[in-house]
Amino acid sequence: MFETVTSEAQKLLKKMGGEAENVAWKWEKPDDVNHGDITTTVALQLARMLKKSPRDVADELAAKVAKISGVEKCEVAGAGYINVWLTPHALLEELAVTRKACTPAVTRKKSAPVIVEYCSLNIAKPLGVHHILTTMIGQVIANLYAHEGTPVVRWNYLGDWGTQFGKLFVAFEKWGKGADPEKISLNELLALYVKFHEEAEKDPELEVLGQAAFKRLEDGDKEVRRVWQAFIDVTKHAVAPVLERLSARFDTDLGESHYDSAMAPIIEEGKKKGVFTTGEKGALIVEFPPPSTLPPAVVLKSDGGTNYLTRDLALVVDRIARYHPSAILHVVGVEQTLHFQQLMATAKLLNWELPVWEHIIFGRMRFADQSMSTRKGTILHLEE
């Protein structure tokens, strides 16, 4: 559209004939929006050649420019500047041209995909402002790969498993006032979670109840599972509009719970290879021989329960089998550095064949005077 306006304007000079024909019509962008979308000094240049008053030349041209399609308004200002306002339609068309010029033409490669895991929110908790870091950084990385043609799998690895769901179930039964788990809000769930930890400080028995409830969840107890599933639905529903505002869209949100049953063969493999050994109180642990200085990690708790690390081992096995990725990238805060170091070191001890595998680290957000902690309820909602 901009080019059409310019070529039409150029025709006006051609019609004037003589020296005017050789003048190039040039636009500038006015510093002040009150001077139009585009402006030109062409009348000043012509006036000098034609030995006419710049104002007169400008008036004559402006009257004709005003009739060009795409021009909304044309005014003469100062000594003979011609200021032009384009129609909204013309501006939008121009914007589309710019956008197209800025978007690389993508030739889809047939290469193995890169898995970018980001956002990875936890079920039953509202999104905190800190979630913007993993979500935006992850998305930028995923977009970069997509733009250069590499297939990407955008993975929101939901935190939907772990003892916290046992605790939440106990809190919900005790203080939930018989609410419908499918109608509860994330703020109410957060309040229950905070209350559980406050009460547990006075009454250690609660921790035991929480562990037992989680065991019921793991064993497939109908009632605990029903409530847990409701919390997942409630959470997904509540965070959807916030993620939509961030244009965050994922290919999968397969979460931690999915890997609970996939861990047994890994435990067996680790034992057989002598990588997992029995530690204190019968827990199964992995120790990292020197020169590694990493502290040992637990892969199976003394009560037989699995944990975050074991689930991540199962996750990697599954991702490799399912996608044969060229890379797996976890976009997760700096506070989980030790976890990822132990995870990757364990996979190495197990002698697994691995793709590029990285923890993409970013810093931790905090308040000026205190840390952000969902457990303590000190959180700034992303939505706000």
Q: What's the closest the beta carbon of residue 229 comes to ligand ARG, in angstroms? A: 18
Stretch that binds ligand ARG, among 8-16, 46-54, 67-75, 117-125 (CB under 6 A): 117-125
Name which of 120 and 235 has its Cβ closer to ligand ARG: 120
Tell me if 365 sits within 8 A of 343, measured CB to CB: no
SS3 143: helix
Binding of residue 332 to ligand ARG (CB under 6 A): yes
Q: How far is the CB of 86 from ligand ARG (least distance, A)?
A: 48
Q: Tell me the C-alpha to C-alpha distance, in Å, between residue 194 and each of 126, 171, 197, 278.
A: 13, 9, 5, 34
Q: Total residues contacting ligand ARG (rule CB under 6 A)?
A: 9
Q: Which CB sits closer to ligand ARG, 4 or 337?
A: 337
Nearer to ligand ARG, 190 or 315 (CB): 315
Instruction: Report whether 92 contacts 71 (CB < 8 A).
Output: no
- In the shown chain, the binding pattern of residues 175 to 194 toward ligand ARG, with x for contact by CB under 6 A and - for none, equals --------------------
Nearer to ligand ARG by Cβ, of 77 and 132: the residue is 132
Give the phi and the psi of residue 367 in degrees, each rounded to 5: -80, 165
Contact between 120 and ligand ARG (CB under 6 A)?
yes
Q: Of 300-329, which residues contact ligand ARG (CB under 6 A)?
A: 312, 315
Q: Which residues on adjacent β-strands are paired with residue 85?
A: 73
Those residues whose C-beta lies under 8 Å from the C-beta of residue 152, and which sit 6 or more positions away, are 113, 114, 115, 116, 142, 145, 146, 251
How far apart (Å, rounded) are the C-alpha atoms in residues 317 and 289? 23
Taking the C-alpha atoms of residue 323 and residue 47, their distance in angstroms, rounded to an integer, is 69
Minimum Å distance from CB 34 to ligand ARG? Answer: 50
Angle at CA of residue 333, ends 332 and 339, nearest 5°: 75
Least Å distance, CB 327 to ligand ARG, is: 14
For ligand ARG, the closer of residues 218 and 312 by Cβ is 312
Distances (CA, A) of 239 to 122, 249, 325: 11, 12, 28
Query: Which residue, judged by CB position, is nearest to ligand ARG in the bound state?
Result: 159
Q: Does 138 bind ligand ARG (CB under 6 A)?
A: no
Burial class (CB in 10 A: 0-12, 13-18, 19+), 86: buried
Which residue number, 39 or 120, has a Cβ lying nearer to ligand ARG?
A: 120
| One residue of 330, 342, 346, 349 binding ligand ARG per CB under 6 A | 330
* Candidate segments 35-43, 46-54, 116-124, 212-220, binder of ligand ARG by CB under 6 A: 116-124
**Amino acid (one-letter) located at 206:** L
Of the candidates 230, 121, 233, 127, which has an alpha carbon nearest to the alpha carbon of residue 176? 230
Among 27, 81, 85, 157, binds ligand ARG (CB under 6 A): 157
**Binding positions for ligand ARG, rule: CB under 6 A:** 117, 120, 122, 157, 159, 312, 315, 330, 332
